[in-house]
Every structure is written in C-alpha cells, then in structure tokens.
A = this chain, B = another copy of it.
C-alpha cells in the first residue's frame, strides 16, 4: 500500500503525507494557530479538529495531552489528507506555505544542551588540549550537558545580532570588551518534551516516546571568544545565551520509526540506567549551508549518546520534566572533515580557513552571512521525509555595545 495525499506533494518535498510535522503559523490577518505541513501547504488544525487545543500560538496545549492523543491526532490527520472524501471539507483549511508566517512552534520551559557527539567532543579536545586525551574522563560514562537560556530560543529566520562581551586573547594582559570576533554555529538536533513527569521520579530510556513529542533542527550560535574567557569553572553562559535558533516544524517521533538505529557501540558499557533495550539512535542526514553553499553534511547516526539516554540522564536525579522542555544533542560531527557541524572544527581553529565559491575565506562568521541547516530521514513507505530548515543571518553588533 502506498499512502498518498490528495494534496499535491512535489517530488523531493520535505513534507510527504508520511511526515506531517507540526508547527505554528500565522496567516495574513489571522491569529497564530497550530498546523501540519503537507507538500507546499499547511493544514489549519484549529479549523478541522479542535479549536481549544489548536487555536493557540504554541504546541504546548496539544503536547501536554500525551502520547495517545498524539497518535489519535496523527491518524485522524492522515485520514483527512488521504481520503478524497474529506477533500471538500478540508481544502478550505489549507494555506500555501508562502502565504503564512511560521513562528517558534512551542513555548520553551527549560533548555538543555548536550555534548553527545564523540567526534565533536574529540575534535574540541584535540584543538584545545593537544597534550591530553581528547575526551574528558567522564565523557564515555554519561552524556555531558548543561542548561542553556530558554528565553533566547528563537524562531528560524530571527536576525542574529553579533553579541558583544568580554574576551581575553592569550597574549593580552587584561580582558577587552567588544563584538565577538569568533562567532560560530553549532548544527544540532533538538527534542521537545510533550508530557511532563513528577519531581522526584526518573524517566527510563524505555519511556522516551511517552514523553518526547518530536524532533527539530537547532543552530546553537556560539561566541567562542566570549565562551573561552568565561567558562571556567561553571560552563558556558554569555557565549551561548544570546540566541539559539530552531526550525519551525516539529517532526513527530512516530514519523521517525524507519529512522531508528542503534547508537555506535558503547565501551565501557554504561551504567544500567543509561542502557537501551530498544535503540533510539536516529539516521538523520544533516546539511549545513553558508550563504547557499553546502559546507558540511553531519551524520546524526554517529551520535554516541542517544536522545533516550540523554533524557534518562537528565532526570536520574529526580528532576521533573515539563511540557515544553527542550534539549539538543550538541554539535553533530562525523568522522570525515566535511562532516563537522561547527566552523571551529571545519577550519580546525583557523588552521584551514574555508574558501567559499565567491573566493572569500571564513574562519568564523562575517556580518551578513546566512547559515541554514536542513535534514532528511527515512520515512514510512520508502519515502524520504525532511525537517524543513533552520536559518539565520548575522547582523552587525549594536553600536552602543561595540
């Protein structure tokens, strides 16, 4: 059986009917509400399903309703979009994607950023601690992570103003103040928690799909010079907290069943609470573009710690989950030089600047640069599903802060 929609879906579209990602859109003149992407359209769920749940400027109300409701809704939307009998009823609720504005799809509760790619963590270790083992002693025992700033998680295409702050080059006697000179990207994959958990309980790796609603793309912009000066001993703060961009579409976990793979072999074997009975690695192919030129293709299936392991670790101390909690994988890097998900790795800390097609070179981002991250994954029925994109353009630092 091939599932096809009566809504035309162009070949190569990110949004065949086997995907059906959720987002929040604003039609011309209308208030924001929840929709599902299909081909080149978005379906207004408030119009065809349930006003109270979907006539909302965020997915949180729907996400809080839990997995059974997510499954029912997906089945119902699939039915509406594949059975011609619904066409006359549903067609008026379709908007062309080009005619609507896409917003941040959920209201962020807490934001956690992990560091789960062995290649990324090793690359950073080799660059900054050349005389030590590339990984810290804890790295293969637990998914290292930290809390980021939820209030500066922004929608795709939000302008990224170059941050100012303190930096101290190694040879300088004292720190100086000004716009970051080492503005970087981090290509990551994000996980959105729908159903919360109680304070004092832990969420096991097996309960991952009971809590996590879906997956999106993340660019965790990073000011390497600010970060390098501030981060000892309490971790990254202002070097990260100015902006984190997320893609407008949340791909439901259910659409990713065919993308599930085992993580790479974990040696040493992790402690019991981190073991997975069923694999939650994901075979996503990322693609990072700088000014419309592909500069990296990071493979997510190489990630050492799966998102289910990250969730189990995050709650093992009894920390509760809330609807809208959001966690990202950390920079996704593969083993090949063109699979690295940050400029600091791609340029090897400036030793090998990137040369773009226009002849210009980059070690870090220049004002006016646009970075776009895309990804695809195997979907049901032999389809390929996509995540849309997360994009952002660098604006100059504000003068009064220069």
Q: Which residues of A contact B (CB under 8 A)?
A: 109-110, 112, 115, 136-138, 141-142, 144-152, 154, 158, 161, 163-166, 168, 174-175, 177, 199-202, 223, 226, 229-239, 241-243, 268, 271-273, 313-314, 316-322, 325, 398, 400-401
Contact = CB atoms under 8 A, between A and B. Distances in A.
B273 A234 contact: no
A238 B313 contact: yes
B318 A174 contact: no
A61 B99 CA distance: 34
The 3 closest A-B pairs by CB, nearest first: A235-B235, A163-B317, A147-B147
Contacts of A110: 149-151
A174 B270 CA distance: 10
A109 B150 CA distance: 8
Contact of A145 (B151, B232, B234): B234
A319 B138 contact: no
A401 B202 contact: yes
Contacts of A243: 199, 318
Chain A facing B: main interface SS:
loop
Given A149-B110, A177-B271, A233 B230 contact: no
Given A199-B154, A241-B147, A164 B235 contact: no
A146 B147 contact: yes
B230 A165 contact: no
A147 B318 contact: no
A316 B223 CA distance: 13
27 contacts: A109-B151, A110-B151, A115-B234, A138-B168, A142-B166, A142-B175, A142-B229, A144-B234, A145-B234, A147-B147, A147-B149, A151-B319, A152-B320, A154-B199, A158-B199, A165-B317, A174-B268, A199-B243, A223-B317, A226-B317, A231-B235, A235-B235, A239-B317, A241-B317, A242-B317, A242-B319, A316-B401
Nearest to A163: B317
A232 B150 contact: no
A92 to B, nearest CB: 36
B151 A322 contact: yes
A200 B317 contact: no
B320 A145 contact: no
Contacts of A141: 166, 168, 174-175
Given A147-B241, A223-B317, 12 more contacts: A110-B149, A138-B229, A138-B232, A142-B166, A147-B149, A147-B237, A150-B150, A151-B319, A161-B199, A200-B398, A241-B314, A241-B317
Contacts of A268: 174
Contact of A321 (B144, B151, B200): B151
A151 to B, nearest CB: 5
Given A200-B398, A325-B151, A233 B234 contact: no
A193 B152 CA distance: 16
Nearest to A204: B400
A177 B142 CA distance: 11
A199 B164 CA distance: 13
Contacts of A273: 177
B152 A199 contact: yes
Contacts of A400: 202
B164 A401 contact: no
Contact of A230 (B138, B177, B230): B138
